[in-house]
Amino acid sequence: MDTEEYPIKHKEILLEISEKFKTPTYIYFEDILQENVQKYRDAFKNYGQFRQMYAYKANTNPAICKILKNLNVGADCVSEGELHMAKYTGVNPRDVIFTSNGKTDESIEFALNFGCTINIDGFEEIEIIDEISKRLDKKPKISFRINPEVNPHTHDKIATGVKESKFGINIRQAIEAYKLAKQKNFEILGIHCHIGSQITEIEPFIEEAEKISKIVTDLHDLGINLKFVDLGGGLGIDYPHDGNYNGLTHDDLANGIIPIIENLNKDLGYEIELILEPGRSIVGNAGILLTKVLSIKRTPYKKFINVDAGFNDLIRPAMYDAYHKILNLSNLSDGDEIFDIAGNLCESGDILGKNRKIAAKRNDVLAIFDAGAYGFSMSSNYNSTLKPAEILITKDKKVKLLRGREKFEDLLKIY
Ligand code: LLP
């Protein structure tokens, strides 16, 4: 057992939190967030114009957004709500990109008034943005999301740049899209693509960077000079924590991508800005979900630990068969029985961890690791449950309640 692991190191404070604020509760660690931003900075330090735009979808708790803004990290937003959050947080619109395959008129208006980059996803959207910007008398800053047809070797549901994907303009139509945009009153800033999430190999990133660079060079030959290349989300993370993880490091990513972009710069005759939009690798391991054991059940076939969280709180195991390490903070001994950790929703698929060797009894507090990304942000009120509380452990080890647990009255709100 790695006693350096955060939930173990902070065991006492976490058990106190579970008493005081009850469970289920998300806990975030500010120092890990900061370290994660720094890891990208260190790896890409030799590339002058490198920028991180944190993918808000991973976790938009306002305090997390603020911490990242104060570290000069931009925002990758995918809805009007996320744009509001970026504006509320004080992120400079220069550091905000708005990506979505289905933008509402209201979200486009908001983006135009805010002044961020609008990442166009399809041919009809060129006309829609042209029309709305004329109506508002604005000159939109734009880029295109290109689907580069790259297999990222990840779960099907989070592969976003394969040729059948709903996202972006197909790579074969990319030049045509820019030519059309050139006829409009647009400020054409860049090119974007995102091939998927939880990627643990370098090859897909290399293929993506090479394909996109080729387009940027072709555009340059046509007199369209882009200012940025945005290669989308960041690294996958180590979920199993079993010592066998050999996924990509930040250095692997930088060493894979930078030479390709430097070659591109030679063709262009100037240095293009390189953007990444990491989400999971910024907040994933910076958060855990605390849940309490309600009861133990031993059937003739299987054994269950029933807990007070479910896929309403953390949907990743049910939705992507994702593995999250689970540890009993009240009893760190290994145990000799195998249990499924069962959520308390009325669905058979509500299992947070399958076949885990763990010792537990009623009222013990379990920590579900790596829940900072796509945890709370994907939570719901299914089964009329209340969304969990969110707490920050600050750099100086203060416990700060960021968002209280929902109350029953919140379910009665009628507008
Ligand atoms: N940029 C764009 C345009 C994206 O669509 C995404 C994630 C990211 C950046 C951030 O990617 P990351 O650095 O986190 O890999 N809910 C799923 C993940 C969905 C990811 C969707 N797009 C999960 O829990 O695994």
Q: What is the pLDDT of residues 171-212, one digit of tens each?
A: 999 999 999 999 999 999 999 999 999 999 999 999 999 999
Q: Which atom of ligand 1 is nearest to the CA of 198?
A: 15
pTM above 0.85, yes or no: yes
* Domains parsed from the chain with CATH numbers: 30-280 (3.20.20.10), 284-411 (2.40.37.10)
Residue ranges lining ligand 1, Cβ < 6 Å: 55, 57-58, 76, 99, 158, 160, 194, 197-198, 232-234, 277-281, 316, 320, 374
DSSP 8-state secondary structure symbol assigned to residue 405: P
Q: Looking up tokens 């996803």, which residue turns up?
A: 121
pLDDT for position 158:
82
Of the chain, the percentage scoring pLDDT greater than 90 comes to: 93
Q: How far is the CA of 409 from the centre of ligand 1 (A)?
A: 32
Q: How far is the CA of 224 from the centre of ligand 1 (A)?
A: 29
Distance separating alpha carbons of residues 81 and 74, to the nearest angstrom: 16
Cα 338 to ligand 1 centroid, rounded to whole Å: 32
Please determine, for residue 324, whether its predicted confidence score (pLDDT) is greater than 60: yes
Atom of ligand 1 nearest to the CA of 374: 24
Name which residue leads in pLDDT, 163 or 287.
287
Tens of pLDDT, residues 220-240? 999 999 999 999 999 999 999
Q: What is the pLDDT of residues 294-306, one digit of tens each?
A: 999 999 999 999 9
Q: How do residues 31-61 score in pLDDT, each as one tens digit?
A: 999 999 999 999 999 999 999 999 999 999 9
Summarised one tens digit per residue, pLDDT across range 55-111 is: 999 999 999 999 999 999 999 999 999 999 999 999 999 999 999 999 999 999 999
CA–centroid distance, residue 197 to ligand 1 (Å): 5
pLDDT reported for residue 219: 98
Query: So what's the pLDDT on residue 311?
Result: 98
- Out of 65, 77, 116, 346, pick the active-site residue: 346
For residues 154 and 197, is the Cβ–Cβ distance under 8 A? yes
Ligand 1 centre distance from Cα of residue 162 (Å): 15
User: Which pair of tokens denotes residue 221?
Assistant: 């030959």
Residues 6+ apart with CB under 8 A from 10: 29, 393
Average pLDDT over residues 395-407: 97
Q: Which atom of ligand 1 is nearest to the CA of 145?
A: 3
Amino acid at 386: L
Q: How confident is the model at residue 157 (pLDDT cuts 50, 70, 90)?
A: confident
For residue 24, is the peptide bond before it cis, meaning its omega torsion is within 30 degrees of 0?
yes
Which of the four pLDDT bands, split at 50, 70 and 90, describes residue 2?
low
Q: pLDDT at residue 22 above 70?
A: yes
Residue whose C-alpha is closest to residue 261's, from 272, 248, 277, 249: 272
**Average pLDDT value for the chain:** 96
Nearest CA to ligand 1 atom 9: 233
Instruction: For ligand 1, pick from 197, 283, 314, 380 the residue to mutate: most ligand atoms within 8 Å of CB.
Output: 197
**pLDDT band (50, 70, 90) for residue 156:** confident
How far does the chain reach from its first CA to its final CA, in angstroms? 50
pLDDT at residue number 3:
57
Q: Known catalytic residue: 65?
A: no
Q: Are strands 338-342 and 351-357 parallel, antiparallel or unpaired?
A: antiparallel
Using an 8 Å Cβ cutoff, are 327 and 366 in contact?
A: yes
Percent composition of the chain: helix, strand, coil (DSSP 3-state, to 5): 35, 20, 40
Q: Which of 78, 144, 277 to mutate to test the pocket of ligand 1 (most atoms within 8 A of CB)?
A: 277
Which pLDDT does position 108 carry in this prediction?
98
